[in-house]
Amino acid sequence: MKRYDAVVIGSGSGMFVVYEAVFRGLSTALIDKGPLGGTCPNLGCIPSKMLMFPADRVVEIAEASRLGIAARVTRIDFQAIMERMRRSVEDAQRNLRQSLSALSGLDFYEGTGHFAGEYELEVAGTRITSDKVFIAAGSRPSLPSVPGLDAVDFLTTDTLLDLTKQPRSMVILGGGYVGVEYAHFFAAMGTSVTLMEAADRLLPGEEPEVAALLKHALRKRMQVLTGTEIERIARVGDGLHLHVRERESGARFSVTADALVVAAGRRSNADLLKIAQTGVQSDSDGFVSVNEYMETNVPGIYAVGDVNGRYMFRHIANIEATVAARNAFGTQRVAMDYSAAPHAVYSYPQIAAVGLTSEEARKRHDVLIGRARYMDTATGEAMMETEGFAKAVVEKHSRRILGFHIIGPHAPTIIQEVVNAMTSGGNVAEIEQALHIHPALPELVQATFRNLSPE
């Protein structure tokens, strides 16, 4: 059995630990079952955004008439768009593999590993051990318990990127951020899309008025069904037949499509590692339990990224991995701070948020709420953006920013100013007193804070 100073499971956010360990001169082992680089560059954020970008252009052209521009899309090369995305994925994998081979002091074990003891792992018949183990094993699609699902062909967010032929019609099960992004993409490509969500609204974790506007916007281009459940799925000829029930009314109807995408959330890969062999605890959903230092209940074993289920976004996983590495190898412990952790949804319209929702904030604080429309800014008016808006949540007495939410063009870019302000203390004055370029879209942020009032 070979002993290492550090063992890392997973080459996504786990690479932040690998680089830190190697640069410190520590003997390091990396275990990865593939695809190399983890979910983000292979199956998630990067390839999906390469699809969302052309989809955005298609919808912008369709909406250009409101600006007095007569334009139309004459042809969409679905295969070319998909191939461009896949080439990018292949390039990223190749570059990472070259990077790994150049790291002195790193042994790379390519294969499915699992725990064989408290600090022992087995991969491809080889056993290794370390008193510092970092679990960054990611997640996989969660499949709902729907009668008939196991008897039909379906796509998941891990397999739809392999499509070479565009489906004529598609049902997407799941109105979370992944579901609404792919609904936007396929609808823009010309596929007839039905988006189905069991909850009463899309994106249940977002502000209700944000979710409502998104549903309104998507319904212009596709069928959106919320508060529905699938009672049975069957194959009929070359297509699929979904028997659906509306929860509130009890009404039953059916939906047919050529393709089915299951985007009903993700589950931790911790179970594949046989973590019970280590005594590491997990919650009822299988996610590894960690404290604010990214430590599990077993000393020296850390868990970061999707595997712990806290915030399943790559940019947050990278920071978790950095915190874990500092706590394992450094002399001063660092706690993970999620208070200014942002996220974005690349639907059309785009969505971005940071911090608490108004409902969450009211449970612990006296709050002020601010709202502003894109049309309240000169650039928003020039864009004729009549529906997009921003919402601020502020602690009443300290005027500390608790949360900020945007739906509209460039939302993920605009919100960065608020993220920076929250990171440096979060007082509203930092944004109110800062000079903003006029006319430019960041004036939306300033206008939102100027409209604070109790509700």
Catalytic residues: 438
Q: Characterize 215-243 residue by residue with b for buried, 16 or more Cβ atoms within 10 angstroms of its Cβ, and e for exposed.
A: bebbeebbebbbebebeebeeeeebbbbb
- The answer to whether 336 and 319 are in contact (CB under 8 A) is yes
Give phi and psi for 405, each to the nearest 5. Answer: -140, 135
384: left (phi over 0), alpha (psi -120 to 50) or beta: left
Q: DSSP letter string over 2-21?
A: EE-SEEEE-SSTHHHHHHHH
Cβ distance 447 to 432 under 8 Å? no
- Chain-centre distance of CA 251, in angstroms? 33
Most distant CA pair in the chain, distance: 71
CA-based nearest residue to 166, from 127, 192, 148, 184: 192
Query: What does the DSSP assignment read for 26-60?
Result: --EEEEE-SSTT-HHHHTSHHHHHHHHHHHHHHHH
Are 228 and 198 in contact by the 8 Å Cβ rule? The answer is yes
310 to each of 209, 432, 452, how far by Cα in Å?
Answer: 24, 32, 30
Q: Is 87 exposed, middle or buried (0-12, 13-18, 19+ CB in 10 A)?
A: exposed
- Measured from the Cβ of residue 437, the count of other Cβ atoms closer than 10 Å reads 9
Tokens of 281: 């605890």
Residue type, 192: S
